[in-house]
Amino acid sequence: MSSSANIYVDDGSYNKLLSYLMGLDQPQLEEFKICLQSSQLLLGNFQQIPWANLKAIDPTNLLCLLSEYFSERQIWEVTLSIFDNMNLTSQCTEVRAMMNEIAQTQGSQDPSQEEPEVPEEEKDHRRRYRERMKAKILTMWDNIPWPEDHIYLRNVTEKEHEGLKSLLYPNRTGAQPQTIVLEGLAGVGKTTLAMKVVLHWAEGFLFHQRFSYVFFISCHKVRDMKDTTLAGLLSWDWPDSQAPIEALMSRPESLLFVIDGFEEMDVPSTLDESPPCKDWYQQLPVNRILFHLLKKELVPLATLLITTKEYRTNDLKKLLLNPWFVQIVGFTEGDREEYFIRYFGDQNKAKKILHWVRKNESLFHFCSAPMVCWTVCSCLKRQMARNPHFQLSTQTTTSLYVYFFSSLLATAEVSLSDQSWPDQWRALCSLAAEGMWFWKFTFAKKDLKHRHLEAPVIDSLLRLNILRKVSDCEDCVTFTHQSFQVFLGAMFYVLRGVRGSIGGPPKHQEMRVLLNDALADTNFYWNQMALFFFGLLKRNLAEELEDTLRCKMSHRTTDELLEWADELESYDLVSSCFEFLHFFECLYETREENFVRQILSHLLEADLDIFGSLQLQVSSFCLKHCQRLSKLRLSVSSAIPQTELTFNLETLETRPHSKIRQWQDVCSVFSNGNLTELDFSNSKLNAFSMKKLCYELRNPRCKLQKLTCKSITPVRILKELVLVLYGNHRLTHLNLSSNNLGIPVSTMIFKTLRHSACNIQYLWLESCGLTPLACRHLFLELSKNLSVRFLSLGDNDLSGVEVKSLQGPSEMPESSLKELSLEKCNLSAASYQDLALYLTSTQRTSRLCLGFNPLRDEGVRLLCASLTHHECALERLVLWFCQLGIPSCKYLSDALLKNKSLTHLNLRKNNLRDEGVKFLCKALSRPDCSLQNLDLSDCSFTAEGCQELANALQHNCNMKILDIGSNDIHDDGVKHLCEVLKHPKCALNTLGLEKCNLTPACCQYLSSVLRSSKSLFNLNLLGNELEPRGVSTLWKALKKSTCKLQKLGLEKELYNIVKGELEELQERGSFLRVKCHLGQEESPVTYNCQGGIFFFCNCQKSLGFLIKFSFLQPVPVSNHFPRLAENRQSGEMPCLGLQDSARKNWHNMIWKNCGKSKSSHCLKHHLRNLSQKEQRSRSMVTGMTGLL
């Protein structure tokens, strides 16, 4: 068998980087992003990341973005430079240490070093041990049962040796990693490669100078062993049962431990609490010994070679020190072609079949496992022999497996009555399903007996190669390939019957949990199980199985699925990480259009990434049935032909290209349904496909209102949008951010703005590389436009642009523009003068964002002159990070004394200090001050400034929202504010105190406010060391019926202290919700899907920007199963936990973090996909940042 190892190096550095970014609180994360815009801190001529992509991104997607612009080494260097600039001393120390560690690892050991001279007795020990290991591996190899007609592909020995060498020297620079992980799907050859490493060492071909001893440990074989010691475990394979332990201990660096099948190991929940073990003679459970070995506590200088299925990679990462990961991909495409040709004998027939298999991308991917190749080939060969008119084009992955099993069992000779077959088949499928829930793939005799599987059936399944015996475990069986178990597990849920597979909840509830978990995860096996489940709904396949297996299929399955789909309308599927593409692939597998139409009638929103032929095919099949779809996020990178016709050389026929038809079906949703929002950011389209899209968007039936086109490639195709802007009067929102538009494209688009048929009201042009000439064109057209009311030009260099030209010639009607964002536009002094004139010349502009510009005090002086003008209608002004000082506060205070329209002011991240706050308070203390929302976070003031604010609030009944987070106010500052908050006339309803260096002492002052205040609804205390005693003090007040607080920001470890009491409060009708850090897991305190709340958050650039966040973070049902498994071993099978969770249906969907079920080598690719989704999901709103 040929197993191709796709070698890549991952020493865990990306995970470390992610942990550092995740460790930043929100203000620090924002400062990190701001520093990324500084050329001095980027340490070279690195390409700058567009601010439009950067500003709203979370830590996970930030790392993805960094990996797109910098190499790994550059990311570390930039991170260190920024941390140093932010004075994060401890983080800098850790980053430097990590960088040194990586450098040392990459140049640590020389694999070609000579083996030292050893005594003759030691040589004899090694010789006898090698003979023993060679015999052991060959015996294991011979005991692996392969089907008689299976084709065995073997590499040339020299090439095989090179491949095996690369496993232990993957970086090819002479450095040897000490921990190597072989990861991959089931059946792709991980164990085979590990066995070959041992065999070639034992034969003296490889590694004999590097390793004195190589130990092969099967996790499956040793997991049920009695307690032993490491010395005892190593003696297991010794010729005389007594290993020379002292000799082994003297040269630990010459030992190689091959640990096969880590997925068979259960990680104890108390592992982190167990003391380290370094004693070779300490008696422990075998799994504990292996975990101490993996953690490098035992034999730290030894080399480890570990095999695991990819879904356990994350568990391994928590144990290992600087692991190197090697992905085993199984058969290469060339191997698959060779297998098919040799199996069928006829090269032309084999290539035709292989051509069809390639079109079925999922099936072709499955064929990377040799046993799946055999399954597909043997099934097709039987079908073709039985039916001369057999058509490949009608086959699906599910149909092949159905025909495979039915053809085998149709000829099986089993001495069993017809009445017994249905029960036996249900028992086998139930065994497979239960194994999937518990990740159990090897079954002992007692498992078979528990399911009442009879010996004749087991023997028959072994003969038919559906089951096989486990070579290193007596009386144990496993499915010949894991896909067999997945298929039979899926089949369990379409068979007639009510009882579930795990003994607790009924089958239909298990089915719902299965779908919720499979469609919210990227785990390959869950995805495959869901695919088979839907595929088995196809009527002719159900009939085939009923005839062959004599088992009745449930007629309720389709109705139960429709009931499940009916609930999709109630949930935010996009934020819940619902896998829309996999859902569509599952529906496509059914080929039942009526059913698909019914189930998709409930879908209101979708997020699709069409990156290949399969994704285009399934999207085209499903989208045309999404009649109620209102929001679609569509990223297209699959190549769509430029011509509509294709010519077949074999038939000499011309016919429409299938991909063109599919793209037309995708586009049809724009005009045939209720779609109001479309985001096709990060798409790569040609002019032909773009025209097709635009043609549908200008259809009179198209109801589209919001269109987002960020990061489109190539940019020139955006010219086609002119057709839409002219032809669709319903379109009011257009976002073209993160496209370097250039003069030709920008001129064509801007010219349409003057047209009466163009009804664009909201326009985003952030990070578009607009030149002064392009801006003049834009301003000229806007001066003739009567519809655009919002414009965002953030992250464009407007230093040479006359902003006053926005108001146009005097003979033109007054501009309709009301909201203007010029964030990070490098505005010049002349620009501020222009803006001042603009604000006084129009009574329309009500919102202005100038954040991240070097405004300074002089710029504020000019602006404030216009604020005092009686015609100025400005209501919201954002001046975050504008290098303002104390004089600015004086100008603003004077303006506020005269201005009665300004209600929102954002001064975040300016060095105002106590004196500046004192100037502001002169205006705030006036009862007629109109300001309602003030952001002074990170403005460098202390408790003295809080005293000024408290004094001002005594006379001010208009202030509703005040954020003073990230200021060094301490407990005294809170004390001053609390004195005024208790006043009955105080109207403040939201107070931000994040990261203010507060201690438990301040909780006493806050408690008195919470007991008496009638207005305070929102309180943010994140990032403060309140300790359990402080929270206990707060909680006494929060439990009072007089407390009106509804949202509380609290550190997660402190929330956990009061979690139980909070749930009790909510059961009694309390509206109180607790929010932990943004970007961390949400608090699972409510299952009310409509219970999302609004909370003032200073992470946004705007003053008083309200972020809706939900507390839906339920525990996934699959997380209950390990505990159920433990209970089952003790004879108990409680089902309450599962039933409760299943009853909550969609709320049981787990919100996976980015790395779950992903190989670490896929981190960049996976994060990039997440980043694109993040940008698409935010793009409809981020342009309003700073203005809402």
Tell me the per-residue pLDDT of 148-189, one tens digit each, with 9 for 90 and over: 788 876 554 555 666 677 767 655 444 556 888 998 888 888
Q: What are phi and psi of 1121, to 5 degrees?
A: -65, -40
Pairing of strands 990-992, 790-792: unpaired
Residues 351-400 have pLDDT tens digits of: 888 888 888 888 888 888 888 899 899 888 888 887 777 777 778 899 99
Q: Which helix (H) or strand (E) holds 702?
A: none
The C-alpha atoms of residue 313 and residue 431 are separated, in whole angstroms, by 25
**Nearest one of 645, 639, 644, 693 to 666, comparing CA atoms:** 693
- Helix, strand, or coil (residue 213): strand
What span, in angstroms and rounded, lies between the C-alpha atoms of 299 and 510?
44
Classify residue 491 as left (phi > 0), alpha (psi -120 to 50) or beta: alpha
Q: Does the pLDDT of residue 1170 top 60, yes or no? A: no
1004: its two tokens: 């006493």
- The pLDDT, as a whole number, for residue 929 is 93
- Residue 446 CA: distances (Å) to CA of 266, 431, 477: 20, 12, 11
Interval 412-441 mean pLDDT: 81
Task: Tell me whether residue 915 is exposed, middle or buried, using C-beta atoms within 10 angstroms of its C-beta: 0 to 12, 13 to 18, 19 or more.
Answer: middle
Residue 683 has pLDDT above 90, yes or no: yes
Q: In the predicted model, is pLDDT for residue 1102 greater than 50?
A: no
Residue range 973-984: mean pLDDT, rounded? 92
Q: What is the pTM of this model?
A: 0.79
The 10s digit of each residue's pLDDT in 1057-1091 is: 888 888 888 888 888 999 886 433 332 222 222 22
Helix (H, G, I), strand (E, B) or coil at 844: coil
| Pairing verdict, β 990-992 and 762-764 | unpaired
For the cut 70, the answer to whether the pLDDT of residue 1176 exceeds it is no
Grouping H, G, I as helix, E, B as strand and the rest as coil, residue 304 is strand
Q: How many CB atoms lie within 10 A of CB 803?
A: 24
If you average pLDDT over residues 988-1011, what whole number do you get?
Answer: 95
H or E stretch covering 28? helix 26-35
Q: Confidence band (pLDDT; 50, 70, 90) for 804?
A: low
pLDDT at 813 exceeding the cut of 70? no
Residue 684 is given by DSSP the state B
Question: How crowded is residue 1095: how many other Cβ atoms within 10 Å of its Cβ?
Answer: 21
H-helix segments, 295-419: 313-319, 333-344, 347-359, 361-366, 370-386, 397-410
> How far, in Å, CA of 1010 to CA of 1043, rounded?
5
Contact call for residues 191 and 261 (beta carbons, < 8 A): yes
What is the C-alpha end-to-end distance of the chain, expressed in Å? 62
Q: Are 1188 and 553 in contact (CB under 8 A)?
A: no
Q: Which of 1062, 1064, 1110 is nearest to 1089 (CA)?
A: 1110
Residue type, 279: D
Q: Residues with Cβ < 8 Å from 992, sequence gap 6 or more?
A: 935, 937, 962, 963, 964, 965, 1020, 1096, 1098
Q: Is 676 exposed, middle or buried (0-12, 13-18, 19+ CB in 10 A)?
A: middle
Coil vs helix vs strand at 120:
helix
The residue length of the chain stands at 1188
Q: Which helix (H) or strand (E) holds 203?
A: none
**What are the tokens at 1121?**
């199963």
Per-residue tokens: 601:
């009638």
- Residue 577 tokens read as 């990480």
- Mean pLDDT, to the nearest integer, of 748-756? 88
Q: Are 741 and 749 in contact (CB under 8 A)?
A: yes
How far apart CA 1126 and CA 864 sit, in angstroms, is 69
Are the beta carbons of 278 and 297 closer than 8 angstroms?
A: yes
What would the 3-class secondary structure string for 772-819 be? Answer: HHHHHHHHHHHCCCCCCCEEECCCCCCCCCCHHHHHCCCCCCCCCCCE
pLDDT digits (tens, 9 = 90+) for 210-252: 888 899 998 888 877 888 888 888 887 776 667 788 888 888 8
Return the H-helix or E-strand segment holding 238: none
List the alpha helices (DSSP H) in 886-942.
Answer: 886-898, 913-924
User: What are 1002-1046's pLDDT values in tens digits?
Assistant: 999 999 999 999 899 999 999 999 999 999 999 999 988 889 999
Instruction: Write out pLDDT tens, residues 852-885.
Output: 999 999 999 999 988 888 878 899 999 999 999 9
As a whole number of angstroms, the longest Cα–Cα distance in the chain is 105
Contact 133, 196 (CB under 8 A): no
* Percent with pLDDT over 70 in the chain: 81
Higher pLDDT, 648 or 873: 873
The answer to whether 783 touches 815, Cβ cutoff 8 Å, is yes
pLDDT value at 92 more than 80: yes
